[in-house]
Structures are given as structure tokens and as C-alpha cells.
Structure 1
Amino acid sequence: MLRRNGEVPRVAATIKDVAALAGVSISTVSLAINGSNRVRPETRERVLAAADQLEFVPRTEAVARARRGVRRIGVMAPFTSYPTFARRLEGVLLALRDHGWEVVVFDQESAASALPTLASIPLTNKLDGLLVMSLPIDDATARRLLRQNLATVLVEAARTGFSSVGIDHAEGGRLAAGLLLERGHTRFAFIGERKLTSDVVLPPESRLSAYRETLRIAGYPLEDQRIITVPHQLEAARQAAVELLSSEPRPTAVFAQDDLLAAGVLKAARERDLRIPEDLAVIGFDDGDVAEALGLTTIRQPLLESGEVAARTLVAQLGNPDRSLQEITLKLTLVERATT
């Protein structure tokens, strides 16, 4: 039977079709799209690529999409690796608390690595909408989200086709450099998180770029050897800072990607009996609980507000699918404490 435009209706792909195209068993397809760790990453990628090519939708998900919304929103973030995401989640829960939405939390171990869990969410979970926080979305996942009409709002990331809530990361780098220059420093360093794959671009990279450019314009270029990347752990930051502070000439100011890494720098400085801030100034980023406890100068981003605004934006999009996409930028604040 032909449609009015003369095209033959496309027959929906089945799990057998996906298995045949990917060259695996049906059970392997099922495990892959459900995010099982029993499937090797390269096999999962092959299965998801086949599902994308065939525009496959699992039967249970097709049934869910055919009925009315389940009033369930997913929140994906690296909760266990970065404590500040608890504040963002708190904002989400506050925004949705009185409106009958169920919130399902998905943890991604790190923002610095690839995202197999996120890749399978659109295929395997009955959700009305999705909030993705500080996690990069590859092209295939973006296409899958858009094709399946899963309303999605990004937090601390931006991509064509999606509403987003974020901050100006470059402004954070400029604020840090500006304060340190104002304090009269001339020898600078930066400590950030090491990426686990070159396939992702992390938001803090633009902080470093702006920090470096501001210093260059002021006449104090930041040498490559003064830029250290480490695993996102306090002890790793401490060890790297020990090496950095043993170099000659020793830097007198360090900007850290976040407050946790800044805490590692402070620990190393105190082990070397350096005075803070007379011998070494340190600036962090986020203004989480650790920053106030340590008296750390930091760049505050509105963590709670970002969760609230993202949740409200998603609900508005669900209520009006034709609503224009939103790109919301929240304000950063420089919080000066004892470390500068």
C-alpha cells in the first residue's frame, strides 16, 4: 500500500534485524542496549550503530511511547565522582517536588571518559524527558535522542538541537587570571583533570584557554610545563603540586579546575611550609562545601540554580514541544577568601 506521496511505508526494524546487521546474537543485542557490562565496549558500539542505522526502537519502549507520558524524568551526571552534582540534583528535586514528577538518577563515573551508559538510555528507559549534566554527547547519541523525540536539556554543555543551561567557562578563566594579576603575581600555573579519551571536550578546557590568553595579553605567557593534568583525586592533585612547587622558578599563583584539585594544591603547599597567600595564591572553581571550609578563593557557579532552571526548562518543553530551544547562561561570581 502506497502513501499519498507515493512512498512505501517503512517496516519497523526488529531486534533480529539489528543482530544480523551487527553480526551478533539477539541476546547480545538485548544486553548491549540495556547497558550490561557483560558486553565488550566495541561490541556495544557496533550494536548501537546498527540500531541507529535501522532506526530501531525496542518493543517495550515503542509501547511506552504509544501511550501517555509516564511522568518520569531521568537525570544523568557523574554524581559519584563530583560531589557538587548533589547540589544540582537538589535543585532539580526542588523544582519538581510539587508537580508529580518521578526522578530517576543515572550515574556516569566520569565526565572525562566515553559514555556507554548515556548512549543506551534513549533505547532502554521509559522516560518523558532527560537532563544531562556536564557530560559530552557524541554525534550518534545526539541523533538517537532527537530521532526518538526524547525531550532533553543539557547542563554545563551545549549542542545544536538541544536546550541548555550553563555558565560562561571562559569568563571563569578571565576572572581567576584578573584577580591574580591584580594581586601582583607574575608566575602562574594551572592544575586540571586529565581526560581519559581524546573523543570528549570538557567544559573546563575553555577556562584554561581564557586564563592562559588573559595572562598572555598581560605579558605573562603560561608555559606548557606549568599546566598539569591529573586524575580527579585530591591525592593526585597533591602529588602533582609537590612537583610543581619544587620547580624553579616556583609559581606563586595556581588556578585549579575545581575546589577539590585546589585543596590538593593547598595540602602540598602547607607540607612545604609555604605561606598562603604570601608565598602561594590558590583559586578554585565551583564554591562547594570544601571551598568555604578551607577558606578557598574560588569562582562560584550557581549549582542549585542550574538544576532548578534545567528542570523547569525541561518541563516547559514537555508541555509545549514546539517551544523554541533555550540557551540559558547563569552568572559566575568571584568569591575572595584567605587563599588570595
Structure 2
Amino acid sequence: MSPTIYDVAERAGVGIGTVSRVLNNSPNVRPQTRERVLAAIEELQYRPSPIARRLSLRKTLTIGVIAPFFTRPSVVERLRGVEAAVAESEYDLIVYNVETPDKRDVYFREVPQRRRIDGLIIISLAPTDEDVRYFVDAGMPTVLIDAHHPQLNRVVVDDVEGGRLATQHLIELGHHKIGYISDPLDNPFNFTSSRDRYLGYRQALEQAGISPRSDYHLQGEHGHFQAKVMAGQLLDLDDPPTAIFAASDTQAFGVLEALRERGLRAPDDVAVIGYDDIELADYMGLTTIRQPLYESGLRGFELLLETLEQPEKTPVAVQLPVMLVERHTSKPIGV
């Protein structure tokens, strides 16, 4: 039979309340008493039940993550980072998958109110001021990853800079006719990454004295197939681009397929650059912009723990770096 908290108390010669305070690292225990209790725990090999620990702490010891379409490689990689960090802690994890704008609104309203979690991480879904009021009114510590709001702690990258880096790379290779394929810039989920990357794309063009062309920017549902369709539309123009910047690696793979279907190759005929640097990008030899997806998940959970410990601390933005990764789908034009 497994030892109980009563057995520990009897062995140490204290009450169960003292044992509980030792287990919860309360400072209100004399050092000699703490040592006796810890020795009794070790001798009896006592392990408190997770349920009892939750009750004693008056916490759920559970973290919630609200994430969109978590079959997307970039979201999966961020979740892997969160999960790895949670696994090293005493917390459990619940993931809420957002597939529609209505589901987003439901989770934003209901999850903080249910009290099933101690803290919340939101990936890529920028909350409105009204959303944040719900979180605050519910007393729910919340951290954003790949999303912004000045009232919340957040882990972000500079997607404007990433878009500028991608486009500047193509310009330096001699390309002036550069297409951009992305998710819809205005969308009901309030995603901001494609819009910010587009701003960086335009900035780089304008700084180089190149006028952005509206027919070189196509928007559509995120995914390999839709990106292939959009790339085909660009390639079929009377004056097609010589390079295409895709707002994600998944979309860049669609661009590469569109090229193959037309008997074209990257980078000989059209240069291609993606964004994210997911694992498959290396295998495909894709030039891309790397953002630290896994690290953002790790750092997001660390920031949530800090928020739980210091809820009154002024919110901060932890900005992670982006960098160009040159592989085999871009090269100087005419070479």
C-alpha cells in the first residue's frame, strides 16, 4: 500500500498541515522541521497525488493553448516548443484548435471563464481590445505568440523586417519583377503576419526605386494547392515576374510545383523564396526566411510562468530574430 500524507506526518512527528506547507514550499516552516519532513518523504518514498496537489495549491496546474489550424507546419512547430517546455514543468496542457472565426470568438469568451486552466497562450490570433477585457475581467494570465496587443505579454518576430529581407535578397540578385503570394491581408481571424511581410516587401521595392505592381500580388486561402494556382496566374501573365516571394514555406512549395508543371525550374527560370524555415524547407533546398518557431513556443511558456508569478508586472514584447537562409531556389539573375 502506498504511503499517505498521514504516514509522512507521523514519521516526522508533525501535523499534516506542516507536511502540506513543506510540499508547497511555504516559507512558514522552521528549517529543522522542514528537514525532518523531507527526510520522512524520502524514507517512505511518498509521492503526492496530482489531484491532491491541485487541491492544496488551489490551482489546476494546467495551461491552455488556443491555436489556429494546428496542422499547419508553423503552428505545429510552435506547439512543439510549448509542449516541450510544459513537459519539463508540473503543468499539463490543453490545446483548443480554432478552425473558424466563430470558434475563435467562442474560445476567447469561454475558455478564460471556465477556470479549467491557470494561464493561457494564444498563437497567431491577435485579440481585440474587447477580447483583452474578457481576459482581464476573468483574471486570466495570458501570453501571445506571433500576435500583438500592448496590454499582454507577447513573443513576436519582426515580420516587416522579414518581408524586407526576403525582397532585398531578390533585388540584390538582380530581380526587379518580384511577385508576392500570401494569405488574405484582411481576414476574420485577424492574422497579421502576411500583412506585415507584405509591408516589408513593398518597403524593399520602394527603397530600390521599384514601383510595386498590383498584378504581382495575389492573395488566397493558405495552402499548397491554392499557392500553386496563384503562382500559375503570375506565371501566365504577359509580363511574368522573374522571382516570387511566398509568405510561407508551404505556399512556396506550391510555387515550385507550378513551375514544374510548366517545365520551368527554380532558380534558373524563376527564383523562389519562402518564409518560416520549416523542416521540409531544408530537404527541398528552399531559400527562405527563418523565424525561431520552436523557440517561440519555449519562450512563450517561460513568459507565461513569469506572468503567473508576477501578474502586476508591465507587459513586455520579447522579439526573436529573423534571418535569411540561402539555399538552392535563388541565384543572381542571368547566371
Q: TM-score, normalised by structure 2?
A: 0.78
Amino acid at match of 1:182: E
Aligned CA distance change for structure 1 residues 112 and 201 (closer, same or farther; 3 Å): farther
Map 1:283-298 to 2 at 5 A: 283-298=273-288
Distance 1:319 1:189 in 2: 47
1:84 and 2:74 correspond:
yes
Helix, strand or coil at the partner of 1:106: strand
Aligned CA distance change for structure 1 residues 79 and 114 (closer, same or farther; 3 Å): closer
CA offset at residue 236 of structure 1? 1.0
Deviations for 1:299-333, whole angstroms, at most 9, x for unmatched residues?
Answer: 01101110010100101111222233221000111
Aligned CA distance change for structure 1 residues 209 and 111 (closer, same or farther; 3 Å): farther
CA offset at residue 218 of structure 1? 0.7
Distance 2:268 2:78 in 1: 35
- 1:19 counterpart residue number: none
CA offset at residue 111 of structure 1? 8.2
Identical aligned pairs, as a percentage? 35
Aligned CA distance change for structure 1 residues 235 and 304 (closer, same or farther; 3 Å): same
Helix, strand or coil at the partner of 2:301: helix
- 1:211 counterpart residue number: 201
CA offset at residue 198 of structure 1? 5.4
Contact 1:108 1:115 (8 Å CA) reproduced: no
Residue 299 of structure 1, aligned match among 272, 289, 293:
289
- 1:51 counterpart residue number: none
1:273 and 2:281 correspond:
no
Provide structure 1 residue ranges, at least 5 long, that are not aligned to the other structure. 1-63
Residue 248 of structure 1, aligned match among 227, 238, 242:
238
- 2:49 counterpart residue number: none
Distance 1:218 1:124 in 2: 52
Contact 2:98 2:104 (8 Å CA) reproduced: no
Amino acid at match of 2:239: P
Contact 1:114 1:197 (8 Å CA) reproduced: no
Aligned CA distance change for structure 1 residues 196 and 223 (closer, same or farther; 3 Å): closer
Q: TM-score, normalised by structure 1?
A: 0.76
Distance 1:193 1:163 in 2: 26
Provide structure 2 residue ranges, at least 5 long, that are not aligned to the other structure. 1-53, 331-335
- 1:236 counterpart residue number: 226
Residue 254 of structure 2, aligned match among 264, 289, 297:
264
Distance 1:319 1:196 in 2: 36
Residue 63 of structure 2, aligned match among 64, 70, 73:
73
Map 1:51-62 to 2 at 5 A: none
Amino acid at match of 2:314: S
Contact 1:75 1:131 (8 Å CA) reproduced: yes
1:152 and 2:131 correspond:
no
CA offset at residue 114 of structure 1? 5.6
- 1:167 counterpart residue number: 157
Helix, strand or coil at the partner of 2:73: coil
Amino acid at match of 1:264: G
Amino acid at match of 1:288: I
Map 1:318-333 to 2 at 5 A: 318-333=308-323
Distance 1:106 1:257 in 2: 25
Distance 1:80 1:317 in 2: 25
1:310 and 2:300 correspond:
yes
Which protein shows a greater Rg?
2
Aligned CA distance change for structure 1 residues 110 and 81 (closer, same or farther; 3 Å): farther
Aligned length: 277
1:124 and 2:114 correspond:
yes
Amino acid at match of 1:270: R
Amino acid at match of 2:327: R
Distance 1:332 1:74 in 2: 27
CA offset at residue 274 of structure 1? 1.5
Distance 1:150 1:120 in 2: 11
